[in-house]
Structure 1
Amino acid sequence: LFFPDHDTDPDGAAFAELRAKHICATCPVRAACLDAAIARRERHGIFGGLTTAERDRLAAALAKRAQRRRAVA
């Protein structure tokens, strides 16, 4: 469920991804899970309610924000 295979079964994987994200939305440790996945650069699966691509975009945005803060300081 949390590791959908888009190559083998694209439709089933899309449904599994939605189900996993729905579960994550109610999880009390969602933020910690997401932080840990970003910190270890997890390359597969749904963690903290985000896919690998979504985590990559979030990590890039956070890095860019931190860079701007350092430039202002």
Structure 2
Amino acid sequence: IPKAEAIAIEYPGFVQDTNKALRTLGGLDSIAIAVGTKHYLKLKLRPEDRTSHPLYGERHEQTRLLLRISRPK
């Protein structure tokens, strides 16, 4: 089994539009900074509202197994 790293983010809600979900997390750059520097990940449910307070996510390192299962068509 090849070793690879992956990042999983538990999002508090149903994600229908991944671009909007990434925008509420500050974009890919903010996610990369939070992962690389062990800072908190900020979630702004209303990113366009400057008075909106962010929710902060903590980082937890875990070892997991990711399986991809497909069935022939």
- Normalising by structure 1, we get a TM-score of 0.29
Look at both structures and tell me which one has the larger radius of gyration over its CA atoms: 2
The structure carrying a bigger strand percent of its residues is 2
* Higher relative contact order structure (alpha carbons within 8 Å, sequence separation ≥ 6): 1
